[in-house]
Structure 1
Amino acid sequence: MEEHKWVNDPLVMRYLRSKEINDSLRLIHQSKLSSMKSLIDRIGLDYELVGHGGCVNCLEWNADGSILASGSDDLHIILWDPFLKKKIANIDTGHQGNIFSVKFMPQSMDGLVASAAGDGKVKIHWVDHAPSTNSTPQASLQCNCHVGRVKRLATAPDIPYLLWSGAEDGTVMQFDLRTPHTCTNGPSNILINLLSHMGKQAEVKSLAINPVRTEQLVVGANDPFIRLYDRRMIKITSVPFSAERPRGRQNLLATSSQSEESRSAIPVGCAQYFAPGHLPQKLDDYRRRFRSLASTYVTFDQSGRYLLANLGGEQIYLYDCSTPNPPVTQVPLLGKEPLNGIKGFTLPPEIEQIKMQANAAFQQRQYTTAIGLYSKVCVTSIKLRVVNVVTIFLSNTDGDTYAALKDCISALRLDPLQIKPFHRLARCLLDLGQAVLADQAFKLLRERFPQQANSSTFNTLHVEVQKKLELEEQRSEKESARRGELEDESDLLEDGDSSPNFTENEKLWRAQYWDYTSRYCGHCNTTTDIKEANFFGNDGQYILAGSDDGCFFIWDRNTGIVERVLRGDESIVNCLQPHPFTCMLASSGIDSVVRIWSPLPQVPICYFNNLPTLLNIERVIPDRLGSVVLDAESAAMANQRRMNADPFEMFLMNMGATAEDAMPDITVRPRRAASSPDDDQDEDPRAAIQCRQS
C-alpha cells in the first residue's frame, strides 16, 4: 500500500518560519500568503455566522480585518469577530427599509458605523463593542434628504469626517461630520446630480472612492457608463423643493431640471466616462427590448489605477483609469508595418505546449477554457490571436464579437500582412453594425491582397458589406424622418416620452468614453442590483463575483480563466468581500447567514484518485453549499443561457419546465460546431432577447 504522503508547499513553510525569526517580515509574508495559487486552489467553506433574520445585503471589513459588519433585510447590523466566530454587537438601526450598505468610518477606532437603506435614509451609529444581544446606539447622523433607495456608501481612508451616498433618486450626496446636518425643504449637500444631465430616468446604483487618490470618485448608474469624477472641481449644490409638489422624486426632478446651478456644477474637464466599446451604440435597441443595464458594483484596486465594474445584464469589466483607451471603432484601423518589426517566428516549447492544451479544450467545445489558455500566450503570436478570435466567436457570450474585434486589431498591429485577421476584422465590424468601417476594412483587404480579390470568400464578403451599407442608409433616412415627426410633436413628447434628455456636457462625456482592458465572463447578474465584484490577492491577481445560480466565480485577472466556482448560497450570491490581509473571504446572498471561506486542509496524494468525493466536488451546479463546481465550462454556459433567456422562459425554468416544453413550435438555432480552431467559417447567430434586470 502506498505510503500516505502529504502535498506540502515548502514556500508556505519558509514564509511562516521567517516570520517567527524576523517580525518585520510579518506583513510582507502575510500579504503573499493571502493570494498564493496553492491556497486559492483549496478555498472552501470554513464556517457560517448565524444571527440575521433576512437576506444579508452588504458586508464590510474594518481596516485591520478584525471585525466584519453585515447588514440585512431584518434592519439590523451585526458586528462579528470572524476568528472567534461570535457577535460583537447587534445594532438595531431604526431603518424602515432593507439595509443596502454599511461602512466603518475611517480613523474612528471602529466606533462609528454608517448605514444606508431602502427607506432613503443615511445614518451613522455610535457603537459599543461590549458584547450584547441587541443594542440601539445613538445615531450621530440621521439624514432623510434622499428621495429614493440609497444603494451605496463610500468613505476615504485619509478623510475621517466625510461620507458619500448614492441613491436611486439620481444623486450623490456628501456629508461632512464636522458640521451639523439638518434635513431642510430639499437637500443642500448634493455633489453629483445625474438628473440634471441625464433626465428623469437617472439612478445611482454604486459608487467608490479611489483609496490612493481620494479626490477621485467613481459612480455607476443604470446605464453602461462608469463615471470618474475629480470631486475637488465639483461645487456642492442644493435643490430646494417646489412648494407646489409633494416631497419626492418628481419634486427633485422638476427642481433639478430647472436648476442651472446643478447643470454647471460639474465642469467638462473633471469627468471621464468608461464603457465597453460595443454597448453605447446598442442602447436604443436595448430599450426597445426592455433590456436594462446597470453597474451594480464599482471598486478600485489597491494601486488606484484600475477600476472594476460589475455590469448587471452583461459581464464584468476592468478599466485602466490612467491611460486613454478609446474604443477600437474610433481609432484609425491599421498601419502597414508590424509594430515590433518582426513578421513571424517559431513558438517556444512552453508556448507550444499551452497552445496544444488550448486546442484540446477547443476540440471538446470547452471554449471558455480555450479562450483563457490562448489569452495566456497570444500576445506573442499573431496566429494564436487569430485562433483566439474564432474561439471567442464560439463561446457565445455577450460582447464576444467586440472582444474578437479587439483581438483582430491587436493581431494586425503585430503584423498587418496577415489575411485571416483582416477578413475577420471586416466580419466583426459587420456584426457590430459598423457598415462604413467594414467597407473601409474590406477596401484595405482588397488593396493588400489583390491576388485574393476574385476568390469566393472575397466576393461573399463584398456582397454582405454592400447590403449592410444599403440597410444602414435606409435606416438613417427613416431615423431622420422620425426625428422630424418628433420635433413636430414636441408638446406630446414632453408629457409622455421616456427618451433621455441629455445636456451637452453629458453628450460630450459619452462621446469621449474609454474602453475596457479586460472582461470576465461566466457568472450571471440579472436578478439583483447589489451584486458585487472584487479584487482578491495582495496585488489583486484574482477577480471575484457572485452569480444568480447560487455560485461565486474566481477568475485569473490577467487571462480571464475561471479558476474556481463554488456553491455559496441556496439562491443567489450577492456580496463577496476579501479579508484585507489573509486568504479569507466573506460571502452573503439570499440566505440569512454570512459564510466565511478560507483554504481547506491539503489532501494526501494517495487520495487523489478519489478527489471529487474528498473535496465535495460535483460536475455541474452542486446541491450542497460549499461544494466545488468542477465543470466550470458548463456552469458558465448555463449562466449565459440564463442571461439570454426571455422572461417567460425564465419563469417556466424556475417552475421546472422550459419554453420548448410549453411551446414546441418555437425552435432555438443551435450553436454551430467547429472542427478546428483554424476553421474559417463565421460565428453563429446570437440569441436576441435577454431578461430585464430587477
Structure 2
Amino acid sequence: MMKKRSRTDLDQAVVNVCKRELGQLSTRDFAHRLAASEDLVLRLEIHKKLEKHEGCVNTLSFNSDGDVLISGSDDLRVILWDWETGRVKLSFNSGHRNNVFQAKFMPFSDDRTIVTCAADGEIRQAQILEGGEVKTILLGKHEDSRVHKLAIEPGSPHIFYSCGEDGVVQHFDLRTRSATELFTCRSINDPRNFQPYVHLNAIAIDPRNPNLFAVGGMDEFARLYDIRKYSWDGSSDFGQPADYFCPQHLIGNGDTGITGLSFSDQSELLVSYNNEFIYLFTRDMGLGNPPFPSFSPPISMGSDTSEFEPGSIASSSSMDVDGKNFAQAYKGHRNRETVKGVSFFGPGCEYVSSGSDCGRIFIWKKRGGELIRVMEADRDVVNCTEPHPHTMALASSGIESDIKIWTPKAIERATLPTNIGQVLMRDCYWFGMSDYNDNDYFSDDEDDDGSEDSDDVDIDEDSDDADIDDDSDDDCSDDGETKG
C-alpha cells in the first residue's frame, strides 16, 4: 500500500512564512521556495484547452516572458497563443511540406523571429512583420531525413543548432542565414550497427556553459560535444564527442534509444530512453571517450555531498557502498510508441516531467526519483510536457489536436491511487509491453498490496493502440487521481 504523505511540506511552508515576517528570509528566496512547493504540483489541474490545430501537436514552447505559447502541428501551421485566455494571437502556415516537429522563439527578437523544423527535413525562419504578416524562408535542410529538434544558444538572437535522422548536426547563424554542417554522429564500432551513423532525435545546450551541447538518438549513448574544439576552417575532425553518458546496464543494449534530452540550470543532463526509463547524469558520470562495455561506473568527485549545491546530481543520484555514483532513474511511464521529450519542472528544476503512451503526464521529484503525480491528459499518447519559464504551470500535447494548460488551481491536493502500480501495469499489458515487470518500474516505497480501490485510474479499453501518425479529436478524460 502506498505510504501516507507526511505533513513536512505544509509545515515547512508555515515556517517559511514566519521567517519572512521576521526578516530571516528574503522576499526573493521566499517566492522561490513557494514557487517550488510540492503543494503546487499536487494542485495542478487543467486551466484551458487550446483548440485550433487540426492535427497532432508536436511542439510547445513559451516565450521568455512566459505570456505567449507557440505550437506546431501535423496541420503544417504554427500558432501563437495567449495561453491564459486561450485566445489565438497569430496563426500562420509554416512553409513546411510535412509535420512540424519544433517551433521556437529566438531570444531578444521581440518574439518576432521564430525557427522551425519538420519531417520534410527543412529548417526555416519565420519573421513576423508589422501588421501581423509573416514571411518564411528556408535556412537549411537535412537531405531525406526528418528533423525532430532544434537547440537555441541561450541568450543569443542569432545562433541555434539542428539534428536529423541522417545523423547530421548543423550550426545556424541568422546574421548570415547560413548553415554549417558540424559533423555526422557515427555509430560506435559494434557489429550490431548496420548503419554508419546514428539517427538523431534530440539535441540540448547546457545553459550554464553554452559551449557544450548533447545529442541523442537511436543507440544507448548521449554524446557531449564542446563547440570550442571545432575549427571553422574545416581542418579538425569534430565528430569525436568530448564524453559519453549511458547507464551501465544499457551499454551494449541494441533494443533501446534516446528520444529526449534536457539540461537543468545546474548542468545536469536528463535522458529519456524508449523501452526503458529516464536517467539523470552529472558531468562526473561520463564514461570517457570512447566508452566500452567493460567500463565501470565512475566514482563521484567527492563523498561529502555538502560540497555540492542543493539539487546537484551528487545529492540526487544514488550511491552504492563503494561510493560509486549512479544515475537517478525515473520510472513508471511508458515510452515506446513515439519520440517523446522530457523536461525539468519548477523554478530550480526541482521536478522531472514526461508524457506517456498511456495518455498521462508523470511528474517525479528530481531528488530521489519519487513519483508524485500521474495526471490523465489525453486518450492517446502524450509527447510534450513544456514547463512555464517562471511559474508552476505546464503545457501538454500529443497525438490529439488540442493543447492542455495545467495550473495549480485545484482546491484539494491530489494523491496517487494506492494501486497505481497495478493500473500502470495494466496499461503496460494493453500496449503490448508484457515483458516488463512492475518491480522494475516502482521503488520499494511504492508497494502494491493487490487490493481493489475505488480511486483507481480509469482505463478506456476500447481505444486503439497509439500511433504517431494518428489524429485524434477526442477530449481528454478527467484527472485520474484522488483528491484530499
Identify the match of residue 302 of structure 1 among 245, 258, 265: 265
Cα offsets for 1:85-105 (capped at 9, x unmatched) = 211111211111101111111
Equivalent pair of 2:166/2:197 in contact (CA under 8 Å) = no
How far apart are the structure 2 equivalents of 1:220 and 1:68?
26
Question: What secondary structure does 1:150 align onto?
Answer: coil
CA distance in 2, matches of 1:535, 1:164: 21
Is it true that 1:632 corresponds to 2:441 in the alignment?
no
Out of 329, 348, 355, which is 1:546 matched to?
355
SS state at 1:33 partner:
helix
User: Structure 1 residues 670, 282: CA separation in 2 closer, same or farther (over 3 Å shift)?
Assistant: closer
Equivalent residue runs for 1:240-639 within 5 Å = 265-266=237-238, 268=240, 271-283=242-254, 291=255, 293-304=256-267, 306-322=268-284, 330-331=295-296, 410-411=320-321, 413=322, 516-529=326-339, 531-603=340-412, 631-638=419-426
Give the whole-Å Cα distance in 2 for the aligned partners of 1:223 and 1:332.
19
Task: Mark the CA change 1:521 to 1:328 in structure 2 (over 3 Å): closer, same or farther.
Answer: farther
Distance 1:17 1:100 in 2: 47
Q: Does residue 152 of structure 1 match 2:149?
A: yes
Higher share in strand: 2
Residue type of the partner of 2:105?
F
Q: Distance in 2 between matches of 1:631 and 1:150?
A: 40
**Is 1:218 matched with 2:6?**
no
Q: Is 538-547 or 120-129 further displaced after alignment?
A: 120-129
SS at 1:126's partner residue? strand
- Counterpart of 1:161? 158
Q: Distance in 2 between matches of 1:333 and 1:69?
A: 40
2:104 is matched by which residue type in structure 1?
K
Change (3 A) 1:16 1:332: closer
Q: Is the 8 A contact 2:142 2:164 kept in 1?
A: no
Amino acid of the structure 2 residue aligned with 1:308: L
Residue 136 of structure 2 is aligned to residue 139 of structure 1: yes
Looking at structure 1, the residues matched to 362 and 385 of structure 2 have their Cα atoms a distance apart, in angstroms, of: 10
State the Cα distance separating 1:550 from its structure 2 match.
0.4
Distance 1:539 1:333 in 2: 26
State the one-letter code of the partner of 2:146: R
Q: Which residue of 2 aligns with 1:429?
A: none
Structure 1: where are the runs of 5+ without partners?
1-7, 182-187, 239-260, 284-290, 341-378, 380-402, 415-513, 604-610, 618-627, 650-667, 678-690
Secondary structure of 1:142 counterpart: strand
Report what 1:448 is aligned to. none
The equivalent of 1:208 in structure 2 is 204
Deviation at residue 598 of structure 1 after TM alignment: 1.1
The superposition leaves residues 569-615 of structure 1 with CA deviations (integer Å, 9 ceiling, x where unpaired) of 11011000111111100000111111011112424xxxxxxx9xxx7
| Separation in structure 2 between the aligned mates of residue 26 and residue 72 of structure 1, nearest angstrom | 41
User: What is the distance in 1 between the residues matched to 2:389 and 2:67?
Assistant: 10
Name the TM-score, length of structure 1 as normaliser: 0.53
Q: Which residue number corresponds to residue 311 of structure 2? A: none
1:313: how far off?
1.6
User: d(CA) in 2 for partners of 1:298 and 1:669?
Assistant: 25
Does 2:114 correspond to 1:113?
yes
User: What is the identity, as a one-letter code, of the residue corresponding to 1:95?
Assistant: H
Deviation by residue 1:152-173 (Cα, 9 ceiling, x = unmatched): 0010123221121111111011
How big is each residue's C-alpha offset from its partner over 1:545-572, in whole Å with a ceiling of 9 and x where there is no partner? 1100000111111121110100111101
Structure 1 residues 52 and 526 mapped into 2: Cα distance closer, same or farther (>3 Å)?
same
Q: Does the aligned pair in 1 maintain the 2:297–2:325 contact within 8 Å?
A: no
Summarize deviations over 1:181-221 as a string: whole Å, max 9, x none.
3xxxxxx6111212587744521110011111000011011
Q: Is the 8 A contact 2:353 2:361 kept in 1?
A: yes
Aligned partner of 1:492 in structure 2 is none
Which residue is 2:104 aligned to?
Answer: 103
One-letter code aligned to 1:228 = L
Taking the aligned partners of 1:202 and 1:576, their CA distance within structure 2 comes to 25
Identity of aligned residues (%): 30
Query: Deviation of residue 333 (structure 1)?
Result: 12
Please give the alpha-carbon distance, in whole angstroms, between the structure 1 residues aligned to 2:87 and 2:138: 28
Alignment-derived partner of residue 171 in structure 2 = 174
Q: Which runs of 4+ in 1 moved over 6 A?
A: 8-20, 325-329, 668-671
Q: CA deviation at 1:322?
A: 4.2
Superposition pairs for residues 13-52 of structure 1, below 5 Å?
28-52=29-53
Q: Which has the higher helix share?
A: 1
- Given that 1:522 and 1:640 are in contact with CA atoms closer than 8 Å, whether structure 2 keeps it comes out as no
The structure-2 alpha-carbon separation of the partners of 1:11 and 1:91, relative to structure 1 and needing over 3 Å to count, comes to farther
Unaligned ranges ≥5, structure 2: 1-8, 190-194, 305-314, 446-464, 469-484
Superposition deviation, residue 83 in structure 1 = 2.0
CA distance in 2, matches of 1:567, 1:13: 31
The amino acid of 2:64's aligned partner reads A
Read off the aligned partner of 1:31 and give its amino acid letter: H
Deviates more, 1:157-166 or 1:195-204: 195-204
Equivalent position amino acid for 2:279 in 1: Y
1:657-668 to structure 2, matched below 5 A, reads: none
* Partner SS for 2:426: helix
- Shift in alpha-carbon separation, 1:17–1:581, aligned structure 2, 3 A: farther
Q: Given residue 294 of structure 1, which amino acid in structure 2 is its aligned partner?
A: G
Q: Alpha carbons of 1:328 and 1:175: their partners in 2 closer, same or farther (altered >3 Å)?
A: closer
Q: What is the aligned partner in structure 2 of residue 356 from structure 1?
A: none
Distance 1:231 1:333 in 2: 24
Counterpart of 1:518, as a letter, is Q
Aligned equivalent of 1:189: 180
The structure whose RCO (Cα within 8 Å, separation 6+) is larger is 1
Paired positions, count: 413
The 3 A distance-change label for structure 1 pair 331 and 590 is closer
SS in 2 for 1:87: strand
CA RMSD of aligned residues (A): 4.0
Instruction: State the secondary structure of the residue aligned to 1:302.
Output: coil
Structure 1 pair 48/330, CA: closer, same or farther in 2 (3 Å)? same
The TM-score, its normalising length taken from structure 2, stands at 0.75
Distance 1:333 1:114 in 2: 38
**1:282 counterpart SS class:** coil
Go from structure 1 to structure 2 and tell me whether the alpha carbon gap of 1:669 and 1:301 turns closer, same or farther (over 3 Å shift): closer
Q: Is the 8 A contact 1:523 1:639 kept in 2?
A: no
Query: Aligned-pair distance for 1:294?
Result: 2.2
- Shift in Å at residue 106 of structure 1? 1.4
Q: Do the aligned residues in 1 keep the contact of 2:76 with 2:99 (CA within 8 Å)?
A: yes
